[in-house]
Structure 1
Amino acid sequence: MTSYQKLSPSKDQSLAQAHIIQSDAEALDIAHALAEQFKGNAVQRDAQRILPFQEIEVYSQSGLWAITVPKQYGGAEVSSLTVAKIIALMSGVDGSIGQIPQNHFYALEVLRNTGTEQQKQKLYAEVLKGARFGNALAEFKTKNATQKQTAITPTEHGFVVNGEKFYCTGSLFAHRIPTLVKDYENREFLAFIARESEGLELIDDWSGFGQRTTGSGTVKFNNVQVAAEDIIPFDSAFSQATLVGPFAQIMHAAIETGIARAAFEETLHRVRQARPWIDSGVDQATADPLTLFELGRIVADVRASEVLLKQAARSIDAAKPQPTAANIAKASLDVAKVRAHSTETALKASSKLIELAGSRGSQREDGLDRFWRNARVHTLHDASRWKYYFIANHLLNGVLPPRRGTL
């Protein structure tokens, strides 16, 4: 075991030197230990909407938030499969904690592909010390999700950002908030804005019925200054041959796969405590033939999602040394398969948990509904029907899928 500490709850975002993980195996060992620690108060955090400041501090200080930093900059540069496994593990314990670092890793992947050498050295060093990146990407006051109004404007001393962002997952826990902005030529950039910047306002107004403690509030920018060295190209991460899109999406798939697995494991526990249906003619729910039928269907689906997740991660890792249009498309399509499947599996497994647990499973103090609520809210990120469309369109018509973070 490593030297990370259990810290008392705090909203202090100052940096302390984090542990530096050296390998995939070490990352997984630490993740399993933390998952057990975070599991203890998961129901209470969800029920009372207690934001996990303590847990996120421990999480980042453990070194797990730096595991994608390239080896040449001092990081472990773990595989995409290891990242997916860790996110799935954490999501099974607490869907919110599982989702919070997703945009952090996403921003680091954009940095890896479009940042300058100086920017990489600076920002990777911060992350190795324990820095957390949130996000300010989405806007909801435009006609569609592709339109953005948050603007970056040059000044005598650098640049200023003005605008408003919604669904800024992890922003309340972040040291920097990577913000998607457009300049006067409609080019897109990612500005790594320090949370203490003047004119930056964080609003804890996320009211979703699931993923309740992700810190996904509103962020407003009123003439927020940002230095040129903290701005990297964003649109070129998708116009060029990069894996930013499939890497972003596999983390979403991991969240849902993790929720599905945890819901199924909880179902097994609850069925062992449940009474058999009156018409079953058996003395124990574990012998109820129709209950066994449903459990068999669920475990097959959960395992299928896990296999698809593994396959997609390996496609990303295989393409990483030399990305091309062909291997990026393969990775994107493999990720689309698990995204579509994990969406349906997470919803089914979390719903069957309540059904097979019986009326006892509806008790508020047990919090079994959190699995379904978390799955339902998270799966709204992307519509599975469009995943199936892109898969079939490529299969039948040879049309490559679009390069963006929503496939």
Structure 2
Amino acid sequence: MTSFQNIVPFKSGTASETAHAHIIRSDAEALEIAQRLAEEFKQTAVARDAQRILPFEEIEAYSQSGLWAITVPKAYGGADVSSYTVAQVIAMMSGADGSIGQIPQNHFYALEVLRNTGTEQQKQKLYAEVLQGARFGNALAEFKTKSASQKQTVISPKADGYEINGEKFYCTGSLFAHRIPTLVKDAEGNEFLAFLPRDSQGLELADDWSGFGQRTTGSGTVKFHRVPVAAEDVIPFGTAFSEPTLVGPFAQIMHAAIETGIARAAFEETLVRVRQARPWIDSGVEHAIDDPLTKFELGRIIADVRASEVLLKQAGRSIDAARPQPTAENVAKASLDVAKVRAHSSETALKASSKLIELAGSRGSQRADGLDRFWRNARVHTLHDASRWKYYFIANYLLNGVLPPRRGTL
């Protein structure tokens, strides 16, 4: 059964029941399509945020464009674009609409787990669905445990496969998904990722996300009551981190890209607003663009934005350099390079989005303009991980040679 609150009708089912998506063949094509779509999504971003209009049409266009399949390996028919290209695509989308930028993050994350722990048969099946336009959501986090590392959603063997019982929260993208990759554990504590069809019996979705930012990510609750799942749709999860893989740094570079995209967009909007603003009374100039202290602030912001962008590119290259043969050392380097941009982009997105309103002046507070959405989106998204711990892991490696932990939250 499926429970919705204020959700438009959605066509469920597997990708074979949907229109076939375009297949992207190169990094350059991916970036060109992303730029075009981002410009389209930007036009209605303020209204979606203000009225909390879930972007069903936009997400359909996004996945049908082929952009949700760009990490599928070439051997299975995909473009297998670079990690930096994935980051650029997400940054573009996040600049246009922070919610749309975040929605496919866990889709790509699930595909990266599949790349590392899935069987050949599972890869052929799930990659084919994605190439046809399937979207994966997520049901990873839990809200009612004492710590984020604890999980209570369980998978149990049955005569014809398995069943799942439990509850998840912050399930970004699941309202728009065809499958919901769900993190579960068995009686022995082993973790798995179950790729559940969205219309599975006993699976209940609730549109109860009420965050003040990232308002239209659809990050609500998913409940599982004796949900059946076939063995072929369950893959190991724990080995994605017990062995040297790029699942962790790849997951984190996408989060950094979301924040970098928000920061860049906030800065560009600041330029527009400063040109419209009045100068401060003590500046002695006629136009805000000639105000020396405004110029000082703009210079500081663009330096930080550009630094985040450079760090993002460096992190992407580190991931791609390690991909042919991941080792403890090169995965650690990739993780640390991603930690650098993750920490920096968190602070930059918050600073740039706050300075936007400050430099726009009192006019920047008008609800109709929706300038506060940049800060609200940045503030909520940066709660995923604490930048202070990123700095800790970076320093601990530099001082003591301690490799960072392998997990999706570094």
TM-score (norm 1): 0.97
Q: 1:211 aligns with which of 214, 220, 224?
A: 214
Q: Which amino acid aligns with 2:11?
A: D
The offset of 1:250, in angstroms, is 0.1
Match of 1:344 in 2: 347
The offset of 1:241, in angstroms, is 1.1
How far, CA to CA, are the matches of 1:222 and 1:10 in structure 2?
23
Q: Map 1:245-256; keep pairs closer than 5 Å.
A: 245-256=248-259
How far, CA to CA, are the matches of 2:271 and 2:392 in structure 1?
34
How far, CA to CA, are the matches of 2:44 and 2:24 in structure 1?
26
Match of 1:5 in 2: none
* Corresponding residue SS for 1:222: strand
How far, CA to CA, are the matches of 2:27 and 2:52 in structure 1?
32
The offset of 1:40, in angstroms, is 1.1
1:266 aligned onto 2:279: no
* Corresponding residue SS for 1:11: coil
Deviations 1:64-122 (A, max 9, x none): 00000000000000000000000000000000000000000000000000000000000
* Corresponding residue SS for 2:182: strand
Match of 1:19 in 2: 22
How far, CA to CA, are the matches of 2:284 and 2:295 in structure 1?
14
How far, CA to CA, are the matches of 2:285 and 2:21 in structure 1?
55
* Corresponding residue SS for 2:169: strand
The offset of 1:10, in angstroms, is 5.6
Q: Map 1:224-263; keep pairs closer than 5 Å.
A: 224-263=227-266
Which structure 1 residue ranges, 5 or more long, are not aligned?
A: 1-8
- After superposition, the CA RMSD in angstroms is 0.7
Q: 2:192 aligns with which of 189, 193, 196?
A: 189
Q: 8 Å contact 1:10–1:54 — kept in the other structure?
A: no
Number of residue pairs the alignment of both structures matches: 399
Q: 8 Å contact 2:12–2:199 — kept in the other structure?
A: no
Q: 1:318 aligns with which of 318, 321, 324?
A: 321
How far, CA to CA, are the matches of 1:293 and 1:327 in structure 2?
39
Q: Which amino acid aligns with 1:294?
A: E
4+ long deviations beyond 4 Å? none
Match of 1:398 in 2: 401
Q: Which amino acid aligns with 2:10?
A: K
Q: Which amino acid aligns with 1:220?
A: K
TM-score (norm 2): 0.97
Q: 8 Å contact 2:213–2:380 — kept in the other structure?
A: yes
Q: Map 1:150-229; keep pairs closer than 5 Å.
A: 150-229=153-232
* Corresponding residue SS for 1:168: coil
Match of 2:144 in 1: 141
Q: Which amino acid aligns with 1:280?
A: S
Which structure 2 residue ranges, 5 or more long, are not aligned?
A: 1-7
The offset of 1:13, in angstroms, is 3.3
How far, CA to CA, are the matches of 2:268 and 2:36 in structure 1?
18
Q: 8 Å contact 2:34–2:89 — kept in the other structure?
A: yes
1:29 aligned onto 2:28: no
Q: Which amino acid aligns with 1:148?
A: K
Q: 8 Å contact 1:164–1:218 — kept in the other structure?
A: yes
How far, CA to CA, are the matches of 1:36 and 1:394 in structure 2?
41
1:125 aligned onto 2:124: no
* Corresponding residue SS for 2:283: coil
* Corresponding residue SS for 2:142: coil
